[in-house]
């Protein structure tokens, strides 16, 4: 096919870093499981105890997969990494294919390429090959990384990891990624815009994950409807079998063939599914800056809320078996040290800060949304109407603040409900929701820093993420790396009491909230004084 | 040059806008009288969009005075904006809002739409309001902004290359609506690169170059400043023409003569030809094109001296 080679070379050159980062993420996911389990349990007895606790925890199984050979290192890696690994491979395939097929067509660049002397199917083929190569690389790197896990004085079962199973887990990941590549390629033919394509391919990945979750907990047949289920059915490290890989390769071929068949029947630039027509007139919600801000951001509020609730739920569902899971190894001592005697309370105090840090992801990106509006030229048209700068920005600020509050509340509820469901202690719902709420203040400090930047130096906005990086580093490595006191104090999260491990204190919360308000108001005033665009 | 007595709708004096070290506007003067369609012309990067953004209070001026609709565009932005509508040259729509939703949103934020006119405009522009912003073509995105602007009840339209991407048929519809808008007493500032459109719509034009106005006046005034080209065959050799001030590029071949003449000495030049005896005469009226090209090009020296500082 003329042109595939040229396109492929140019794609791979453009994508080499992106692909490398994705692979690095995937490798870390697998490799870190193997390494961390080794460090987590001092004796096989401890490990057995933890494995028993996980074995019959439905929430864990729904999240990760069928519990097999959890008392071996390999079994743990397969259990904890494969479902998420498959999602990583799926998302990588989706983005790579979207980027080189639908996005190119949407931007019209594709037409330029096509006007050169290349085969009609060359761009689609090149996009597919990029995804196939990337998944192969991912699988090979995962295998290689697992093969490096050696231990001189292995106390835990299953070390070193068997070579055949390590190859199986890597190539299974590749094959699963190939299925999602085929799916993404079909989605790119059906839809008309990149956004819609990501929506369609993303929901297939989501449904694949959900089907196997339900299947693994209940009716096993459902897991067989999901490519992720097929991957896990290879049973790496617990009686490896190869034939599910063939199933995945067959599915990948089928979906790719289907994509090419659809491609042959459609016009360039269009999809098989046209965009559904929308309302010809605006609803009553769309009449103010706030109404528009909500309309633009509600999808992300819903998504993050669901994510935070589920994260809270999964933390909570560990219940009071924290001790079993963590054991009383050195790690556990470090984890609870200086916080409290009760491991459970220490664990949840830190879990709550982690929830808050996740909420920062929403808070900061939501704060940056006005900049995206400005860059796209939307704010220019809006601010040329009766909408003042003050109310335009205030609308977005309100969505950010209320959205963050909703996120934290749902995260706390998830935590409490998960805990209550596991332990039967219904009072836990409020006990765990309460301590989450004060974290609205430090989360909003990070958001307000972003807003101040937006008002003063909109071109330096990437810097808005630095405080979050700092807060994460301080929380996770602050004591380990013995970071200086003043550096740790820069993170607003460090000033709040670690409830429930410590007693609640009002003063720091008020002070931090005041800081957030000042910074935010400063940013809004600065915005009113600068050029737009 | 202005004869109107009513207070101008837009009055800009000595406006300076700097982007870093670049003086995008460098002492710009601009006056738009009520009820006129004012053409705003100039080469790429000369500062048209920047001027309009200052008028909209989107950019902060560095020096000069700016009044619009009896207010300060920076301080009274939102209040003034309810009385005007703005159409940029490159409209970008929210990808997941439909065209209809965008029209209503902009209209409501301006203080209300005329629903009957909205419907009529949608039909005339053949625009489907149920499509999502991401799936409109360039021309159709432009139409969304035009419908939102033309269906609003406002006094002033600020249009920055509003017809870029429209097909000629739709451009005709646009012209028609701007005409009606003016007939209702509205004022328009129209930045455009399409001379035919300007010639059709505008009474007065201002030409901007490198951040300054180099020419401003009615189209008739401007025509006056250009030259008519003459191509004639005479009864005898054309002597003495070269001595006439205002005759340029004289080219004599036997009894045939070709030259450009400034409009104010046209009468004299034809008189001279007449005295020798005219056999044939072809005269090219001055085109706007010529005038613009002269201002757009690098050779400013070619511009008649009195026109450079109106
Ligand atoms: N935000 C900005 N930052 C820096 N320079 C700018 C900015 N906006 C405009 N300029 C510069 O100011 C000058 C005037 O630009 P402007 O957009 O006003 O030109 P224009 O007359 O509208 O041109 P065109 O006909 O191409 O639309 C240009 O040199 C441009 O590069
Ligand atoms: Mg412009």
CA B44 to ligand 1 center in whole angstroms? 8
pLDDT at A301: 93
Q: What residues in B contact A280, CB-CB < 8 Å?
A: 98, 100, 129-130
Kindly determine whether residue B53 and residue A280, on different chains, have CB atoms separated by under 8 Å: no
Q: Which domain holds residue A461?
A: 289-528
Kindly determine whether residue B130 and residue A382, on different chains, have CB atoms separated by under 8 Å: no
Q: What is the pLDDT of residues A96-136, one digit of tens each?
A: 999 998 888 877 677 777 777 778 888 899 999 999 999 99
Cα separations in angstroms, B162 against B25, B138, B146: 21, 12, 7
B162 lines ligand 1 (CB under 6 A): no
Q: Residue B255's pLDDT band (boundaries 50, 70, 90)?
A: confident
Kindly determine whether residue B134 and residue A295, on different chains, have CB atoms separated by under 8 Å: no
Do residues A324 and A202 share a domain?
no
The number of angstroms, rounded, from the C-alpha of A272 to the middle of its chain's C-alpha atoms is 30
* Residue A402 domain flag: yes
Q: What residues in B contact A278, CB-CB < 8 Å?
A: 97-98, 100-101, 130-132
Q: Bigger pLDDT: A289 or A210?
A: A289
CA A103 to ligand 2 center in whole angstroms? 27
Do residues A336 and A214 share a domain?
no
Question: What is the model's pTM?
Answer: 0.78
Q: How far is B129 from chain A (nearest CA, A)?
A: 5
Q: Please state the domain extents for chain B.
A: 10-83+155-222, 227-285
CA A147 to CA A162: how far, in whole Å?
Answer: 8
Kindly determine whether residue B53 and residue A532, on different chains, have CB atoms separated by under 8 Å: yes
* Ligand 1: residue whose CA is nearest its atom 19: B45
Mean pLDDT to the nearest integer, A342-364 = 87
Question: Which of A209-213, A396-400, B162-166, B296-300 is predicted with the least confidence, judged by mean pLDDT?
Answer: B296-300
CA A55 to CA B231: how far, in whole Å?
Answer: 101
Q: What residues in B contact A193, CB-CB < 8 Å?
A: 95, 132, 134-135
* Residue A111 domain flag: yes
Q: What is the pLDDT of residues B96-152, one digit of tens each?
A: 899 999 999 999 999 889 999 999 999 999 999 999 887 788 899 999 999 999 999
Task: Choose the closest CB to B92 out of A195, A288, A377.
Answer: A377
Substitution target in B69, B88, B105 with the highest count of A β-carbons within 10 Å is: B105
Kindly determine whether residue B56 and residue A384, on different chains, have CB atoms separated by under 8 Å: yes
Do residues A160 and A235 share a domain?
yes
Q: Bigger pLDDT: B220 or A283?
A: A283
CA A415 to ligand 2 center in whole angstroms? 54
Do residues A162 and A297 share a domain?
no
* Residue A132 domain flag: yes
Kindly determine whether residue B132 and residue A275, on different chains, have CB atoms separated by under 8 Å: yes
β-strand pairing of B187-191 with B156-160: parallel
Do residues A244 and A139 share a domain?
yes
Q: How far is A249 from chain B (nearest CA, A)?
A: 35
Mean pLDDT to the nearest integer, A366-391 = 94
B50 lines ligand 1 (CB under 6 A): yes
* Ligand 1: residue whose CA is nearest its atom 28: B45
pLDDT at A337: 46
* Residue A127 domain flag: yes
Question: Which of A24-38, A372-386, B180-194 is predicted with the least confidence, judged by mean pLDDT?
Answer: A24-38
Do residues A338 and A233 share a domain?
no
* Residue A272 domain flag: no
Do residues A301 and A421 share a domain?
yes
Instruction: State which of B25, B48, B296 you would mutate to test the pocket of ligand 1, scoring each by most atoms of that ligand within 8 A of its C-beta.
Output: B48
pLDDT at A54: 81
pLDDT at A125: 94
Kindly determine whether residue A279 and residue B78, on different chains, have CB atoms separated by under 8 Å: no
Q: How far is A134 from chain B (nearest CA, A)?
A: 30
List of long-range contacts for A264-269, beta carbons under 8 Å, 24+ apart: A264/A121, A266/A189, A268/A105, A268/A110, A268/A111, A268/A114, A269/A105, A269/A106, A269/A108, A269/A110, A269/A111
CA A131 to CA A463: how far, in whole Å?
Answer: 32
* Phi, psi dihedrals of residue A274, rounded to the nearest 5°: -75, 155
Closest CA to A82 of A181, A207, A172: A172
- Please indicate if any CB of chain A lies within 8 Å of the CB of B214: no
Do residues A89 and A154 share a domain?
yes
A122-148 burial, b at 16+ Cβ within 10 Å, e below that, comes to bbbbbbbbbbbbbbbbbbbbbbebbee
pLDDT at A153: 65
Do residues A226 and A315 share a domain?
no
Helices (H), B16-81: 48-55, 77-81
The ligand that comes nearest to the alpha carbon of residue B19 is 1
Q: How far is B167 from chain A (nearest CA, A)?
A: 20
Q: What is the pLDDT of residues A441-487, one digit of tens each?
A: 999 999 999 999 999 999 888 899 899 989 988 887 676 667 888 98
Cα separations in angstroms, A120 against A32, A114, A126: 44, 7, 11
Do residues A477 and A333 share a domain?
yes
Of all residues in chain A, the percent with pLDDT exceeding 70 is: 93
pLDDT at A322: 66
Interface residue ranges in chain A relative to chain B, Cβ cutoff 8 Å: 106, 192-193, 195, 275, 277-283, 286-288, 292, 295-296, 376-378, 380-389, 391, 529-533
B54 lines ligand 1 (CB under 6 A): no
Substitution target in B93, B109, B144, B165 with the highest count of A β-carbons within 10 Å is: B109
B94 lines ligand 1 (CB under 6 A): no
**pLDDT over threshold 60, residue B300:** no
Question: Which of A237-251, A305-319, A333-347, B22-36 is predicted with the least confidence, judged by mean pLDDT?
Answer: A333-347
Kindly determine whether residue A288 and residue B109, on different chains, have CB atoms separated by under 8 Å: yes
* Residue A270 domain flag: no
Q: State how many domains chain A has.
A: 2
Architecture of the domain whose range is B227-285? 2-Layer Sandwich (3.30)
Q: Residue B240's pLDDT band (boundaries 50, 70, 90)?
A: confident
* Residue A279 domain flag: no
Helices (H), chain B: 48-55, 77-81, 99-110, 115-124, 138-150, 168-183, 195-201, 219-224, 266-276, 288-296, 305-308
Cα separations in angstroms, A184 against A19, A36, A92, A99, A199: 16, 33, 10, 11, 10
Yes or no: say if B190 and B198 are a contact pair by the CB < 8 Å rule. Answer: yes
* Ligand 1: residue whose CA is nearest its atom 26: B44
Kindly determine whether residue A532 and residue B59, on different chains, have CB atoms separated by under 8 Å: yes
B295 lines ligand 1 (CB under 6 A): no
CA A415 to CA A411: how far, in whole Å?
Answer: 6
pLDDT at B2: 46
**pLDDT over threshold 60, residue B204:** yes
Mean pLDDT to the nearest integer, A228-257 = 96
**pLDDT over threshold 80, residue B289:** no
Sign of CA dihedral B74, B78, B79, B84: positive
B19 lines ligand 1 (CB under 6 A): yes
- B47: alpha, beta or left, given left = phi > 0 and alpha = psi -120 to 50? left
Q: Residue A339's pLDDT band (boundaries 50, 70, 90)?
A: very low
Yes or no: say if A392 and A382 are a contact pair by the CB < 8 Å rule. Answer: yes
pLDDT at A340: 45
Do residues A339 and A400 share a domain?
yes
Q: What residues in A contact B135, CB-CB < 8 Å?
A: 192-193, 275
**pLDDT over threshold 80, residue B307:** no
* Ligand 1: residue whose CA is nearest its atom 22: B49
Q: What is the pLDDT of residues A489-518, one digit of tens each?
A: 999 999 998 888 888 999 999 999 999 999
Q: Residue A33's pLDDT band (boundaries 50, 70, 90)?
A: confident
Superfamily of chain region B10-83+155-222: P-loop containing nucleotide triphosphate hydrolases (3.40.50.300)
Mean pLDDT to the nearest integer, A80-87 = 93
Q: How far is A26 from chain B (nearest CA, A)?
A: 32
* Ligand 1: residue whose CA is nearest its atom 27: B44
CA B53 to ligand 2 center in whole angstroms? 10
Do residues A103 and A154 share a domain?
yes
Substitution target in A384, A389, A393, A459 with the highest count of B β-carbons within 10 Å is: A384
Instruction: Determine which helix (DSSP H) or strand (DSSP E) holds A422, and give its type and residue range.
Output: helix A389-423
CA A38 to CA A20: how far, in whole Å?
Answer: 27
CA A93 to ligand 1 center in whole angstroms? 40
- Please indicate if any CB of chain A lies within 8 Å of the CB of B22: no
CA B31 to CA B206: how far, in whole Å?
Answer: 9
Q: Bigger pLDDT: B43 or A219?
A: B43
pLDDT at A323: 64
Of all residues in chain A, the percent with pLDDT exceeding 90 is: 56
pLDDT at A325: 60
Substitution target in B78, B102, B122, B141 with the highest count of A β-carbons within 10 Å is: B78
Q: Which residue in chain A is spatially nearest to B58 when comparing CA positions?
A: A532
């Amino acid at each position: 096919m003329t042109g595939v080679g040229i396109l492929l070379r140019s794609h791979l050159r453009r994508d080499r870093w992106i692909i490398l980062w994705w692979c690095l993420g995937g490798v870390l996911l697998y490799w870190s499981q193997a390494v961390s389990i080794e460090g987590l349990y001092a004796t096989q007895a401890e490990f057995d105890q933890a494995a028993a606790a996980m074995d019959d925890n439905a929430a864990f199984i729904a999240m990760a997969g069928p519990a097999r050979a959890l008392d071996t290192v390999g079994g743990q890696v397969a259990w904890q990494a494969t479902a998420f690994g498959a999602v990583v491979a799926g998302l990588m395939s989706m983005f790579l294919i979207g980027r080189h097929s639908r996005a190119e067509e949407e931007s019209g660049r594709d037409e330029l390429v096509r006007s050169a002397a290349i085969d009609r199917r060359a761009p689609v083929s090149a996009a597919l090959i990029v995804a196939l190569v990337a998944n192969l690389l991912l699988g090979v790197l995962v295998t290689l990384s697992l093969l490096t896990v050696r231990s001189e004085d292995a106390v835990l079962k299953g070390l070193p990891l068997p070579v055949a199973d390590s190859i199986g887990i890597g190539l299974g990941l590749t094959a699963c990624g190939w299925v999602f590549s085929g799916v993404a390629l079909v989605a790119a033919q059906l839809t008309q815009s990149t956004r819609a394509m990501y929506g369609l391919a993303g929901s297939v990945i989501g449904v694949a994950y959900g089907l196997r979750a339900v299947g693994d907990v209940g009716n096993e047949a459902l897991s067989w409807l999901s490519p992720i289920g097929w991957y896990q059915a290879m049973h790496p490290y617990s009686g490896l079998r190869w034939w599910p890989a063939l199933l995945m390769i067959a599915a990948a071929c089928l979906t790719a063939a289907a994509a090419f068949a659809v491609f042959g029947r459609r016009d360039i630039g269009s999809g098989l599914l046209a965009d559904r027509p929308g309302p010809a007139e605006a609803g009553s919600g769309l009449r103010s800056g706030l109404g528009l801000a909500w309309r633009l951001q509600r999808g992300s509020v819903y998504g993050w809320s669901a994510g935070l609730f589920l994260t809270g739920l999964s933390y909570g569902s560990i219940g009071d078996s924290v001790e079993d899971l963590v054991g009383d190894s050195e790690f556990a001592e470090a984890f609870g040290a200086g916080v409290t005697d009760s491991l459970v309370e220490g664990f949840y105090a830190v879990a709550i800060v982690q929830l808050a840090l996740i909420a920062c992801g929403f808070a900061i990106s939501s704060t940056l949304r006005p900049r995206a509006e400005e860059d796209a030229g939307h704010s220019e048209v809006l601010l040329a109407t009766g909408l003042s700068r003050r109310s335009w920005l205030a609308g977005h600020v309100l969505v950010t603040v209320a959205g963050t509050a909703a996120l934290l509340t749902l995260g706390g509820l998830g935590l409490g409900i998960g805990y209550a469901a596991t332990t039967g202690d219904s009072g836990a719902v409020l006990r765990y929701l309460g301590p989450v709420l004060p974290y609205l203040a430090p989360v909003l400090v990070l958001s307000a820093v972003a807003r101040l930047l937006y008002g003063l130096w909109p071109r330096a906005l990437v810097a808005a993420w630095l405080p979050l990086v700092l807060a994460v580093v301080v929380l996770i490595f602050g004591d380990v790396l013995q970071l200086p006191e003043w550096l740790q104090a820069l993170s607003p999260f460090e000033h709040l009491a670690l409830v429930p491990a410590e007693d609640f204190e009002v003063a720091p919360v008020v002070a931090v909230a005041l800081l957030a308000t000042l910074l935010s108001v400063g940013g809004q005033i600065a915005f009113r004084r600068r050029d737009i665009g | 040059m202005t004869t109107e007595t009513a207070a101008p709708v837009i009055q800009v004096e000595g406006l300076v806008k700097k982007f870093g070290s670049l003086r995008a506007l460098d002492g710009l003067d601009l006056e738009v009288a009520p009820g006129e369609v004012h053409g705003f012309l100039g080469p790429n990067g000369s500062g048209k969009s920047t001027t309009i953004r200052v008028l909209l209070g989107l950019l902060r001026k560095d020096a000069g005075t700016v009044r619009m609709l009896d207010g300060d565009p920076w301080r009274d932005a939102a209040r003034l904006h309810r009385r005007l509508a703005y159409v940029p040259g490159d409209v970008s729509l929210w990808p997941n809002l439909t065209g209809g939703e965008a029209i209503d949103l902009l209209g409501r934020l301006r203080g209300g739409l005329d629903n009957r006119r909205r419907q009529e405009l949608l039909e005339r522009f053949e625009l489907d309001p149920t499509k999502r912003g991401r799936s409109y073509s360039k021309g159709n995105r432009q139409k969304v902004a035009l419908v939102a602007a033309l269906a609003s009840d406002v006094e002033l339209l600020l249009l920055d290359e509003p017809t870029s991407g429209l097909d000629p048929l739709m451009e005709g519809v646009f012209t028609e609506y701007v005409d009606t808008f003016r007939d209702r007493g509205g004022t328009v500032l129209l930045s455009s690169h399409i001379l035919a459109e300007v010639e059709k719509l505008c009474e007065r034009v201002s030409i901007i170059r490198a951040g300054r106005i180099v020419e401003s006046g009615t189209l008739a005034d401007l025509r006056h400043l250009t030259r008519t080209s003459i191509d004639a065959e005479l009864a005898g050799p054309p002597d003495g023409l070269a001595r006439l001030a205002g005759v340029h590029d004289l080219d004599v071949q036997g009894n045939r003569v070709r030259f450009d003449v400034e409009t104010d000495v046209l009468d004299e030049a034809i008189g001279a030809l007449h005295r020798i005896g005219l056999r044939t005469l072809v005269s090219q009226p001055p085109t706007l094109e010529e005038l613009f090209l002269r201002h757009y090009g690098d050779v400013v020296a070619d511009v008649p001296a009195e026109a450079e500082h109106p």
